[in-house]
């Protein structure tokens, strides 16, 4: 497997889906066990920093978005926020 986060082909695969649903399947297919372990540490920080309340349905959507951004980085993203949308 080729991990979309670290790019390693020799990385250990996840033995099972780490979460239910389509996102869980995608994570199992595209992310290695090492990056999943890294995500779990980051996930706690995200929940605390954003003060996510899982009684609010939007909290899970926010967390899922953060998970996707962490595990499946956009190859065109250079890490900088784009300002404006037009050409110079």
Asked whether residue 80 carries a pLDDT value surpassing 70, the answer given is no
Element housing 79 (H / E): none
- Residue 82 domain-assigned (yes or no): no
The answer to whether 3 and 30 have CB atoms below 8 angstroms apart is yes
pTM reported for the whole predicted model: 0.74
The domain containing residue 29 runs over which residues? 1-75
Asked whether residue 83 carries a pLDDT value surpassing 60, the answer given is no
The answer to whether 32 and 6 have CB atoms below 8 angstroms apart is yes
CATH of residue 20's domain is 1.10.3880.10
Give the per-residue pLDDT at 75: 61
Domain count, the chain: 1
């Amino acid at each position: 497997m080729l991990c979309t986060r670290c790019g390693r082909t020799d990385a250990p695969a996840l033995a099972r889906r780490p979460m239910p649903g389509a996102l869980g399947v995608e994570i199992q297919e595209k992310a290695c066990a090492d990056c999943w372990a890294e995500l779990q540490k980051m996930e706690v920080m995200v929940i605390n920093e954003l003060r996510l309340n899982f009684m609010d349905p939007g909290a899970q959507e926010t967390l899922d978005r953060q998970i996707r951004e962490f595990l499946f980085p956009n190859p065109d993203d250079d890490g900088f926020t784009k300002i404006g949308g037009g050409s110079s």
